[in-house]
């Protein structure tokens, strides 16, 4: 595997379910990100991790819980979601954080539908 | 509020037509600028980027973009589009005043008619 991978690619869940999204990067990067992509809206940054430590949490509801066990893996744990949480969830990585000649590499995303 | 604006939401062109997609940002300080492309069913890919130096940046597949600092703009251009350029295009900014964030525009959907 190369680049950034995400599983599952599609997920349908009820509002009372608990599920997790997984992201893995094979690029040796130090920073990882979760974004939410909704139709007609800019990508919304949800969480940022650097060297396994969370450095940004952009007022995301607590029903989304990130986990970064090591610099290659990032999870997004979901519980008691709402239908408006249905979206494409993108994982990205970059060599480092901030303004340091960075570019982000994206995974294919998980298409989440909350019933 | 800091933002990235893409003025064209949906563009439809015939093959061989020229393309220009607008991108404006509202940040002070030094910026890195990016254009990403998302082909149907595929993930976001970097098309080109500007960090410093020549404000006219060449990217993949014949795309280029020009950074005009005085206009806070980074417009994407291609002289002759192909059907395979049909995709969603996103402008993004990361700067000394944006912390750890990359700010993205809402995207422009390009449809190229054969």
**Residue B34 binned pLDDT confidence (cut-offs 50, 70, 90):** very high
For residue range A22-49, list pLDDT tens digits in order: 999 999 999 999 999 988 788 898 999 9
For residue range B39-77, list pLDDT tens digits in order: 988 889 999 999 989 999 999 999 999 999 999 999 999
- pLDDT of res. B31: 87
Q: Which of A109-113, B46-50, B100-104 has the lowest mean pLDDT?
A: B100-104
Cβ separation of A102 and B32 shorter than 8 Å?
A: yes
Radius of gyration (Cα) for chain B, nearest Å? 14
**Residue A114 binned pLDDT confidence (cut-offs 50, 70, 90):** very high
Nearest-angstrom CA–CA distance, A43 and B34: 14
Average pLDDT over residues B24-52: 90
- pLDDT of res. A100: 66
Q: How many CB pairs under 8 A join A and B?
A: 56
Average pLDDT over residues B4-23: 95
CA dihedral A94, A97, A99, A105 (to 10 degrees): 10
Average pLDDT over residues A12-19: 91
- pLDDT of res. A41: 83
Nearest-angstrom CA–CA distance, B84 and A114: 33
Task: Collect all residues of chain A within an 8 Å Cβ-Cβ radius of residue B32.
Answer: 99, 101-103
**Angle at alpha carbon of residue A89, lines to A85 and A94, rounded to 5°:** 145
Phi-psi label, residue A16: left if phi above 0, alpha if psi -120 to 50, beta otherwise = alpha
Task: Collect all residues of chain B within an 8 Å Cβ-Cβ radius of residue A101.
Answer: 32, 51
Rounded (to 5) percent helix, strand, coil in chain A: 5, 55, 40
Angstroms from B42 CA to nearest CA on chain A: 6
Nearest-angstrom CA–CA distance, A27 and A3: 6
Per the prediction, chain B carries an average pLDDT of: 91
- pLDDT of res. A101: 58
Q: What SS3 class is residue B110? A: strand
- pLDDT of res. A91: 97
CB of B37 within 8 A of CB of B45? yes
Nearest-angstrom CA–CA distance, A50 and A113: 29
- pLDDT of res. A1: 58
Give the CA count within 13 Å in the CB-facing half-sphere of A114. 18
Q: Is the pLDDT reported for residue A14 higher than 70?
A: yes
Q: Looking at the partner chain, which of B46, B99, B101 has a beta carbon nearest the beta carbon of A103?
A: B46
| Residue B60: how many other CB atoms lie within 10 Å | 10
Q: In whole angstroms, what separates CA B57 from the centre of its chain?
A: 11
- The more confidently predicted of residues B100 and A61 is A61
- Chain B residues whose C-beta is within 8 A of a chain A C-beta are 4, 9, 30, 32, 34, 36, 42-46, 49, 51, 90, 92, 94-96, 98-107
Cβ separation of B36 and A106 shorter than 8 Å?
A: yes
Nearest CA in chain A to B51: A101
> Both tokens of residue B76?
């994407």
| Residue among B58, B79, B44, B2 nearest A104 (CA) | B44
Cβ separation of B102 and A45 shorter than 8 Å?
A: yes
Phi, psi of A84 (to 5 degrees): -70, -5
For residue range B71-94, list pLDDT tens digits in order: 999 999 999 999 999 999 999 998
> Both tokens of residue B42?
């595929």
């Amino acid at each position: 595997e190369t680049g950034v991978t995400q599983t599952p690619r599609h997920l349908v869940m009820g509002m009372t379910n608990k599920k997790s999204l997984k992201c893995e990067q094979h690029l040796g990067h130090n920073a990882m990100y979760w974004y939410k992509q909704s139709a007609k809206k800019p990508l919304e940054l949800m969480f940022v991790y650097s060297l396994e430590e969370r450095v940004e949490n952009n007022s995301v509801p607590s029903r989304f819980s990130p986990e970064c066990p090591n610099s290659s893996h990032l999870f997004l744990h979901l519980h008691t979601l709402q239908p408006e949480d249905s979206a494409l969830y993108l994982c990205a990585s970059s060599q480092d954080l901030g303004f340091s000649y960075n570019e982000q590499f994206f995974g294919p995303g998980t298409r989440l539908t909350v019933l | 509020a800091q933002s990235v604006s893409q003025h064209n939401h949906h563009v439809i062109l015939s093959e061989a037509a020229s393309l220009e997609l607008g991108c404006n940002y509202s940040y002070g300080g030094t910026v890195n600028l990016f254009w990403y492309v998302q082909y149907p069913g595929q993930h976001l890919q970097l098309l080109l980027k500007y960090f410093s130096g020549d404000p006219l940046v060449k990217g993949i597949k014949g795309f280029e973009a020009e950074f005009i600092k005085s206009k806070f703009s980074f417009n994407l251009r291609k002289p002759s589009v192909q059907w395979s350029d049909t995709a969603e295009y996103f402008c993004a900014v990361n700067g000394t005043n944006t912390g750890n964030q990359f700010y993205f525009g809402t995207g422009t959907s390009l449809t190229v008619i054969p």
